[in-house]
A and B are shown apart, each in its own frame.
Chain A
Amino acid sequence: MKKELRLMKGNEAVAEAAIRAGADGYFGYPITPQSEILEYLMEANPAETTGMVVLQAESEVAAINMVYGGAACGKKVMTSSSSPGISLKQEGITYIAGAELPCLIVNVVRGGPGLGTIQPAQSDYFQSVKGGGHGDYHLIVLAPASVQEMADFVDLSFELAFKYRNPVLMLSDGAIGQMMEKVYLSPQKERSKVFPDWATTGKPATRERNIITSLDLDPNGMEMHNHKLQAKYNEIREKEVRYEEFQCEDAEYLLVAYGTSARVCQKAVLLLREEGIKVGLLRPITLFPFPTKRINELAGQVKGILSVEMSAGQMVEDVLLAVNGKVPVKHFGRMGGIVTTPEEVVENLKSKIIGG
Chain B
Amino acid sequence: MTEEIIIAGFGGQGVLSMGKIMAYSGVMQDMEVSWMPSYGPEMRGGTANVTVIISSERISSPVIRRFDTAIILNQQSLDKFESSIKPGGVLIYDSNGITRHPERKDIAIYRVDATEEAARMNSSKTFNMIVLGGFLKVKPIIKLENVIKGLKKSLPERYHNLIPMNEKALQRGIEIIQKV
Contact = CB atoms under 8 A, between A and B. Distances in A.
Contact of A342 (B20, B24, B33, B60): B60
A185 B40 CA distance: 27
Contact of A182 (B33, B37, B64, B65): B33
A270 to B, nearest CB: 7
Q: Which of B33, B40, B62, B153 has the most CB of A within 10 A?
A: B62
A270 B60 contact: yes
Contacts of A119: 40
A181 B39 contact: no
Contact of A264 (B20, B60, B153, B154): B60
A: contact size bracket:
20 to 34
Interface in B23-43: 23-24, 27, 32-37, 39-41
B39 A178 contact: yes
B37 A178 contact: yes
Interface in B132-146: none
Contacts of A342: 60-61
A180 interface: yes
Contacts of A174: 39
A7 B153 CA distance: 9
Q: Which of A118, A119, A175, A182 has the most CB of B within 10 A?
A: A182
A272 interface: no
Q: Which of B34, B61, B65 has the most CB of A within 10 A?
A: B61
Contact of B61 (A180, A181, A264): A264
B179 to A, nearest CB: 30
B165 interface: no
Contact of B36 (A32, A175, A270): A175
A267 B40 contact: no
B87 to A, nearest CB: 15
Nearest to A36: B39
A170 to B, nearest CB: 18
B121 interface: no
Contacts of B98: none
B119 interface: no
Interface string B56-75: 00011111110000000000
Interface in B1-57: 20, 23-24, 27, 32-37, 39-41
14 contacts: A7-B24, A33-B39, A119-B40, A178-B36, A178-B37, A179-B37, A179-B62, A180-B20, A180-B34, A180-B35, A181-B32, A260-B61, A260-B63, A266-B60
Given A7-B24, A178-B37, 7 more contacts: A7-B153, A175-B36, A175-B63, A180-B33, A182-B27, A264-B60, A270-B60
Interface of A: 5, 7, 32-33, 118-120, 174-175, 178-182, 260, 263-264, 266-267, 270, 339, 341-342
Interface of B: 20, 23-24, 27, 32-37, 39-41, 59-65, 153-154
